[in-house]
């Protein structure tokens, strides 16, 4: 949940805070999908702030692996907020992250995929997309 302490001068969440949270989610996603110990961010693209985030809203991160490379993976992150007071969801931010598995010396190393996790994540993604497309879902975004 976004707290008063997270809020900047405009009364909304600071963009850099959201970027850091998304980068963290990208790293966690990469770790969940593999047996590698370390990942670094090599590229961030198309970061779009669709709508401001306000205190009291609950941030939801949805990560999709869009490309599985040899030492890298591409992850698309869609961020929504859920406002409990109005019981609505809203799209707030989206962006692409490329994460690279690195060894102890910081050099790129092959990704050791957890195939079952990748399959489970894409199945969950399909379910979420189907739910999103359901008529009557409350989404102001
Ligand atoms: C990530 C890093 C180790 C890659 O080193 P590198 O010498 O470019 O390594 P490689 O050329 O072998 O590339 C490794 C992978 O990264 C991908 N990659 C490298 N540069 C890329 C870019 N600009 N965009 C997309 N992918 C890129 C390559 O395609 C490759 O993926 P693949 O094996 O799946 O095909 C190095 O660039 C680095 O340490 N960058 C800093 C990372 C960091 O500190 N991030 C935090 C920012 S504060």
CATH number at residue 91: 3.10.129.10
Q: Which range of residues forms the domain containing residue 35?
A: 4-132
Q: In testing the pocket of ligand 1, which one of 16, 95, 108, 113 has its CB within 8 Å of the most ligand atoms?
A: 108
Domain membership of residue 74 (yes or no) is yes
Q: Identify the residue whose C-alpha is closest to ligand 1 atom 29.
A: 72
As a whole-number percent, the residues of the chain with pLDDT over 70 amount to 96
Q: In this structure, is the dihedral angle defined by the CA atoms of residues 65, 57, 127 and 32, taken in order, positive or negative? A: positive
**pLDDT per residue as tens digits for the range 96-135:** 999 999 999 999 999 999 999 999 988 888 888 888 788 7
Domain membership of residue 139 (yes or no) is no
Domain membership of residue 138 (yes or no) is no
Q: Identify the residue whose C-alpha is closest to ligand 1 atom 17.
A: 72
Residue 64 has pLDDT above 90, yes or no: yes
Closest CA to 48 of 9, 79, 13, 6: 79
Does the C-beta of 74 come closer than 6 Å to ligand 1?
A: no
Does the C-beta of 94 come closer than 6 Å to ligand 1?
A: no
The pair of structure tokens assigned to 69 is 């490379």
Domain membership of residue 140 (yes or no) is no
Does the C-beta of 43 come closer than 6 Å to ligand 1?
A: yes
Domain membership of residue 41 (yes or no) is yes
pTM, entire model: 0.93
Atom of ligand 1 nearest to the CA of 40: 45
Q: Residue 21 C-alpha to ligand 1 middle, in angstroms?
A: 21
CA angle, corner 87, sides to 83 and 92, nearest 5?
A: 40
Residue 139 has pLDDT above 60, yes or no: no
Cα 1 to its chain centre, rounded Å, is 16
CB 2 within 8 A of CB 52: no
Domain membership of residue 141 (yes or no) is no
Residue 79 has pLDDT above 50, yes or no: yes
Residue 46 has pLDDT above 80, yes or no: yes
- Mean of the pLDDT values across residues 49-72? 96
Domain membership of residue 111 (yes or no) is yes
Does the C-beta of 126 come closer than 6 Å to ligand 1?
A: no
Q: Residue 70 C-alpha to ligand 1 middle, in angstroms?
A: 11
Three-class SS state of 37: coil
Q: What is the pLDDT of residue 133?
A: 82
Higher pLDDT, 6 or 138: 6
Residue 52 has pLDDT above 70, yes or no: yes
Q: What is the pLDDT of residue 70?
A: 98
Count of the separate structural domains present in the chain: 1
Domain membership of residue 137 (yes or no) is no
């Amino acid at each position: 949940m976004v707290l008063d302490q997270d809020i900047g001068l405009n009364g909304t969440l600071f963009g850099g805070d959201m970027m850091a949270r998304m980068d963290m989610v990208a790293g966690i996603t990469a770790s969940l999908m593999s047996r590698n110990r370390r990942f670094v961010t090599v590229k961030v693209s198309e970061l779009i702030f669709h709508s401001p985030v306000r205190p009291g809203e609950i941030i939801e991160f949805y990560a999709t692996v869009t490309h599985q490379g040899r030492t890298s993976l591409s992850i698309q992150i869609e961020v929504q907020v859920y406002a409990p007071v109005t019981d609505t969801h809203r799209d707030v931010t989206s962006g692409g992250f490329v994460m690279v598995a690195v060894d102890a010396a910081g050099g790129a190393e092959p990704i050791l995929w957890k195939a079952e996790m990748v399959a489970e994540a894409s199945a969950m993604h399909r379910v979420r997309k189907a739910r999103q497309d359901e008529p009557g879902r409350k989404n102001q975004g």
